[in-house]
């Protein structure tokens, strides 16, 4: 250790680390051209001089799609797209190392710098970094050209789009960053050429409420022409205050060499990261040479302990069952091209919907979503791309293993990662590939508390089993074999077993489909009876899962989504593709405990209360008792249901039986310890009288200059302000200021709400939306 007092070192770092700004957004000023038709151009293709170009900002989708893609009469666009960006080198970059990192590019990317081909990168879900140093011009403009091909690819998979259960979209749909660093620098993990290498790795060797012990490994490279002497410092902060600090001895590193340096930190009485209190620390890593900081990184971490066994999961020593959901990351129209702010809204919405765990199906998702999961207290199952596709091809196997490595290197320091699904979902993987993927997880992250997960039990630490695979298949009397003696996560449930007679792996045959009124696939604007059936299916299946010894379960799925092989939406989501809740969403909200003082209590009446509503009224609540009144008249004051669908639930629904429908007002009041803690009213709607406009921000304000996308809601209400749940009413949206419509400007209502998607430009001054339609007066709302 250095003889310099560590408190003095902390003060020095506080004044120097913040002064470094070496990462530059590379999102603005791209020129874009999409090739509309013709054969693939090939990797050697550069754009001809006579093309026309559109100026775009990242994240960017290569093609705006219809809300229901194949309903427009054609499949999702696939083909060639080009992005070109010109920029000048800063004189300050002389002698520095300049890299360019793309967070994602769908699906095969060829990149040139100043006419020189730099790389062909395979795979559209993870970052790749390029070293631009030697190819930059000191004078004049530099030019980066990116050629993307998002056609089906046998090496990257996961399957031909026409046979795929989701869509893969296209474009530079996440951001890009230009980094300028000194020759002596912390490496980029995506450039690591060896196992468990690159950047910064934080391993938590011991964590409890009394002490947290960490080992931080930093890879430093010296690209200077001569050897360098330096030290590496680590400072851990919580709310801006130093929690731990350490520094290495003076180190020597030869020219063109690299080293990995492990350093230990210990935190007394740490504030632990948990689902209810996602406390985060910031780790500042600095390389100091000649008395100054020459490079630094910030890494956000959460201190927590996760132990999984066949008997369940313990988070910070407390046994916990993870109530979860599967998520496809697509938005309507823009596909995967979400702004960081939109990804944060997604995480907040999922948490508010009653979930503590998300399976990222079936591919790595936005880094901003990972950050937000850390922030709100969501555990995630991080997974590689895969769905019913595993050719016996060495090139494919090598790609899959490298994808696993890249995913771990990108996400390894996130508090939110529960386990690594380095497994090709529902794909018949060879034993050698399974073994290689399991080994890769533990090569990249050696030590305790690291778990591989897969749907085939061989080798993996955690077994992922969909509920439809656990139940007997259609036409078979015998059940599948019991789960192996290892931790179990119910990876998917609640959809297929209610849709195709639990066809198991014979899903492509789709024989003997259950009638629609039994299905979990229900449109938001569909009949109330069907939506309540979905909620019943959800309740039955989740209750069944709770009877297992399992770590957790994941409902399929959070949002409705498009599929490559189908001309309609997959509508098993508890939210619509436009992010509006169905009744089943309130069931999950009710499964989160309220506090004894009533904090967090909720109650929801699951009916529109129209003449089409049935006389059995279901109420979701996490209270001890609920009182229901109709037009002020007491119907009943009762405790939760006790039936076969509720045997394991924390908070079963409350079902009230009325003699008949009676127009008016239903009011539910929830009680804990005989005290009213939550209430809700539902009114029989009248005729549509006016519109109400709102921005769906989930507490994350619109962000100018980020290509932020967000939903605008235009809701039909009657003269008293009661929502009118009509589907099919045409609503028009107009824009003022620096806004752009991603959706059509005319959208029909679904259950009374028309959802528009807008993109925010550079300036919110004067930004405004105006809705009108159905003979109703126009209503306006500022965007801010």
Encoded tokens for 693: 């406009």
- Co-location of 331 and 363 in the same domain: yes
What pLDDT is attached to residue 70? Answer: 87
Instruction: Identify the residue with better confidence: 630 or 477.
Output: 630
| Whole-number Å distance between alpha carbons of 121 and 126 | 10
Residue 694 has pLDDT above 50, yes or no: yes
Burial pattern 271-300, b for ≥16 Cβ within 10 A else e, equals: bbbbbeebbbbebbbbbbbeeebbbbbebe
Task: Write the CATH number for 520.
Answer: 3.20.20.80
Task: Tell me which residue has tokens 């045997």.
Answer: 647
Least confident of 276-280, 434-438, 504-508, 580-584: 504-508
Listed residue (145, 157, 160, 186) closest to 44, CA to CA:
145
Residues forming a β-bridge with 81: 34, 148
- Co-location of 561 and 446 in the same domain: yes
**Can you state the angle between helices 340-352 and 367-376, rounded to 10 degrees?**
40
- Co-location of 290 and 379 in the same domain: no
pLDDT digits (tens, 9 = 90+) for 253-285: 999 999 999 999 999 999 999 999 999 999 999
Residue 179 lies in a domain: no
What pLDDT is attached to residue 683? Answer: 97
The whole-number average pLDDT for the span 618-641 is 97
pLDDT digits (tens, 9 = 90+) for 512-558: 556 677 889 999 999 999 999 999 999 999 999 999 999 999 999 99
Residue 658 has pLDDT above 50, yes or no: yes
In angstroms, the Cα distances linking 747 to 173, 227, 352, 570, 730 are: 25, 65, 27, 20, 6
| Whole-number Å distance between alpha carbons of 336 and 334 | 6
The whole-number average pLDDT for the span 571-592 is 98
Instruction: Identify the residue with better confidence: 336 or 468.
Output: 336
- The answer to whether 285 touches 200, Cβ cutoff 8 Å, is yes
| Whole-number Å distance between alpha carbons of 147 and 43 | 8
Share of the chain above pLDDT 70, in %: 95
Residue 63 lies in a domain: yes
Task: Write the CATH number for 664.
Answer: 2.60.40.10
- The answer to whether 732 touches 748, Cβ cutoff 8 Å, is no
The whole-number average pLDDT for the span 345-374 is 97
CA of residue 175 relative to chain centroid, distance: 15
The whole-number average pLDDT for the span 559-564 is 96
What pLDDT is attached to residue 43? Answer: 75
What pLDDT is attached to residue 204? Answer: 95
Residue 707 lies in a domain: yes
In angstroms, the Cα distances linking 331 to 149, 577, 578, 709, 767 are: 21, 7, 7, 9, 22
- Co-location of 631 and 747 in the same domain: no
Residue 241 lies in a domain: yes
| Whole-number Å distance between alpha carbons of 183 and 453 | 39
Q: Cβ contacts of residue 7 below 8 Å, gap of 6+?
A: 245
Residue 4 has pLDDT above 60, yes or no: no
Residues forming a β-bridge with 273: 278
Residue 480 has pLDDT above 80, yes or no: no
Encoded tokens for 174: 């996440």
The whole domain housing 254 covers 6-20+186-301
Q: Could you say which DSSP state residue 452 is in?
A: B
Number of H helices, E strands in the chain: 8, 45
Residue 185 has pLDDT above 70, yes or no: yes
The whole-number average pLDDT for the span 744-751 is 97
215 pLDDT band, cuts 50/70/90, is: very high
Encoded tokens for 718: 């009657």
What pLDDT is attached to residue 506? Answer: 55
Residue 6 has pLDDT above 50, yes or no: no
- The answer to whether 162 touches 565, Cβ cutoff 8 Å, is yes
Residue 181 lies in a domain: no
CA of residue 595 relative to chain centroid, distance: 28
The whole-number average pLDDT for the span 751-763 is 97
- Co-location of 170 and 242 in the same domain: no
Residue 315 lies in a domain: no
Q: Could you say which DSSP state residue 517 is in?
A: G
Q: What's the whole-number average pLDDT of the chain?
A: 93
| Whole-number Å distance between alpha carbons of 411 and 380 | 11
Encoded tokens for 739: 């806004």
- Co-location of 491 and 613 in the same domain: no
What pLDDT is attached to residue 529? Answer: 93
- Co-location of 476 and 550 in the same domain: yes
Q: How many CB atoms lie within 10 A of CB 430?
A: 11
- Co-location of 736 and 698 in the same domain: yes
| Whole-number Å distance between alpha carbons of 41 and 55 | 22
| Whole-number Å distance between alpha carbons of 764 and 757 | 16
- Co-location of 566 and 484 in the same domain: yes
Q: Cβ contacts of residue 439 below 8 Å, gap of 6+?
A: none
| Whole-number Å distance between alpha carbons of 286 and 301 | 16
Rg from Cα positions in the chain: 27
Residue 510 lies in a domain: yes
pTM > 0.85: yes or no: yes
- The answer to whether 556 touches 575, Cβ cutoff 8 Å, is no
Task: Write the CATH number for 83.
Answer: 2.60.120.260
Show which of 626, 658, 683 is a domain's final residue. Answer: 683
pLDDT digits (tens, 9 = 90+) for 89-136: 999 999 999 999 999 999 999 999 999 999 999 999 999 999 999 999
What pLDDT is attached to residue 481? Answer: 75
- Co-location of 427 and 544 in the same domain: yes
Residue 479 class from Cβ within 10 Å (0-12 exposed, 13-18 middle, 19+ buried)?
exposed
- Co-location of 146 and 237 in the same domain: no
Residue 744 lies in a domain: yes
What pLDDT is attached to residue 477? Answer: 67
Number of domains in the chain: 5
What pLDDT is attached to residue 44? Answer: 75
pLDDT digits (tens, 9 = 90+) for 16-52: 443 344 899 999 999 999 998 777 787 777 888 889 9
The whole-number average pLDDT for the span 548-577 is 95
The whole-number average pLDDT for the span 234-259 is 96
What pLDDT is attached to residue 513? Answer: 57
Q: How many CB atoms lie within 10 A of CB 441?
A: 25
- Co-location of 463 and 578 in the same domain: yes
In angstroms, the Cα distances linking 548 to 309, 419, 467 are: 13, 20, 11
Residue 10 has pLDDT above 70, yes or no: no
């Amino acid at each position: 250790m250095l003889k310099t007092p560590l408190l003095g070192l902390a003060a020095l770092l506080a004044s120097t680390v913040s002064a470094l700004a070496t990462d530059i957004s590379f999102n603005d000023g791209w020129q874009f051209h999409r090739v509309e038709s013709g054969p693939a151009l090939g990797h050697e293709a550069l754009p001809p001089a006579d093309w026309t170009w559109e100026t775009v900002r990242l994240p960017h989708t290569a093609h705006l799609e219809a809300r229901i893609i194949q309903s427009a009469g054609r499949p999702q666009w696939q083909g060639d797209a080009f992005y070109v960006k010109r920029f000048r080198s800063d004189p300050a970059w002389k002698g520095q190392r300049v890299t360019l990192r793309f967070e994602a590019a769908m699906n095969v990317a060829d990149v040139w710098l100043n006419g020189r081909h730099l790389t062909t990168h395979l795979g559209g879900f993870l970052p790749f970094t390029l070293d631009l140093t030697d190819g930059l011009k000191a004078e004049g403009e530099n030019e980066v050209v990116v050629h993307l091909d998002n056609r089906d690819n046998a090496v990257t998979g996961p399957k031909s789009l026409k046979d795929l259960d989701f869509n893969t979209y296209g474009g530079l749909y996440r951001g890009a960053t230009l980094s300028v660093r000194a020759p002596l620098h912390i490496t980029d993990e995506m450039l690591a050429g060896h196992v468990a290498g690159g950047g910064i790795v934080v391993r938590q060797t011991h964590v409890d409420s009394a002490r947290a012990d960490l080992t931080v490994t930093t890879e430093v490279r010296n690209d200077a022409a001569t050897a360098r002497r330096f030290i590496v410092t680590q400072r851990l902060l919580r709310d801006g205050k130093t929690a731990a600090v350490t520094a290495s001895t003076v180190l020597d590193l030869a020219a063109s060499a690299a080293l990995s340096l492990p350093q230990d930190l210990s935190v007394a009485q740490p504030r632990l990261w948990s689902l209810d209190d996602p406390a985060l620390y910031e780790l500042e890593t600095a390389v100091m040479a000649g008395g100054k900081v020459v490079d630094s990184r910030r890494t956000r971490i959460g201190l927590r302990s996760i132990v999984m066994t066949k008997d369940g999961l313990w988070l910070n020593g407390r046994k916990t069952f993870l109530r979860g959901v599967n998520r496809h990351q697509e938005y309507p129209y823009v596909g995967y091209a979400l702004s960081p702010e939109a990804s944060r809204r997604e995480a907040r919405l999922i948490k508010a919907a009653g979930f503590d765990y998300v399976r990222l199906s079936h591919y790595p998702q936005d880094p901003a979503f990972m950050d937000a999961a850390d922030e709100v207290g969501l555990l995630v199952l991080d997974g590689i791309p895969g769905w019913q596709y595993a050719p016996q091809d060495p090139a494919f196997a090598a790609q899959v293993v490298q994808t696993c490595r890249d995913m771990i290197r990108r996400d390894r320091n996130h508090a939110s990662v529960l386990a690594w699904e380095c497994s090709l979902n529902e794909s018949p993987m060879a034993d050698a590939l399974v073994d290689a993927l399991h080994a890769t997880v533990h090569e990249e992250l050696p030590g305790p508390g690291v778990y591989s997960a897969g749907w085939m039990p061989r080798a993996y630490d955690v077994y992922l089993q969909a509920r439809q695979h656990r139940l007997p298949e259609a036409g078979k009397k015998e059940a599948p074999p019991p789960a192996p003696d290892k931790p179990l996560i119910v990876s998917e449930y609640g959809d297929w077993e209610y849709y195709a007679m639990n066809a198991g792996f014979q899903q492509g045959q789709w024989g003997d489909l259950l009638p629609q009124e039994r299905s979990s696939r229900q449109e938001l604007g569909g009949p109330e009876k069907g939506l309540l059936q979905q909620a019943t299916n959800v309740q039955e299946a989740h209750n069944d899962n709770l009877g297992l010894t399992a770590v957790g379960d994941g409902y399929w799925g959070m949002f409705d989504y498009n599929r490559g092989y189908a001309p309609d939406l997959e509508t098993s989501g508890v939210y619509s593709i436009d992010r509006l809740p169905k009744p089943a969403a309130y069931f999950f909200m009710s499964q989160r405990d309220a506090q004894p003082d009533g904090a967090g209590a909720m109650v929801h009446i699951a009916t529109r209360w129209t003449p089409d509503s049935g006389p059995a009224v279901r109420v979701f609540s996490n209270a001890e008792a609920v009182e229901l009144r109709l037009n002020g008249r007491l119907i009943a004051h009762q405790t939760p249901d006790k039936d076969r669908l509720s045997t394991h639930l924390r908070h079963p629904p409350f079902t009230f039986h009325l003699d008949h429908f009676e127009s008016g007002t239903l009011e539910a009041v929830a009680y804990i310890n005989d005290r009213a803690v939550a209430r809700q009213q539902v009114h029989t709607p009248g005729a549509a009288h006016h519109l109400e406009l709102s921005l769906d921000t989930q507490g994350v304000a619109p962000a100018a200059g980020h290509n932020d996308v967000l939903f605008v809601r235009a809701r039909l209400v009657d003269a008293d302000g009661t929502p009118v749940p009509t589907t099919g009413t045409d609503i028009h949206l107009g824009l003022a200021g620096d806004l752009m419509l991603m959706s059509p400007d005319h959208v029909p209502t679904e259950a009374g709400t028309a959802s528009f998607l807008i993109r925010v430009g550079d300036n919110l001054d004067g930004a405004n939306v105006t809705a009108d339609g159905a003979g109703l007066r126009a209503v306006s709302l500022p965007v801010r």
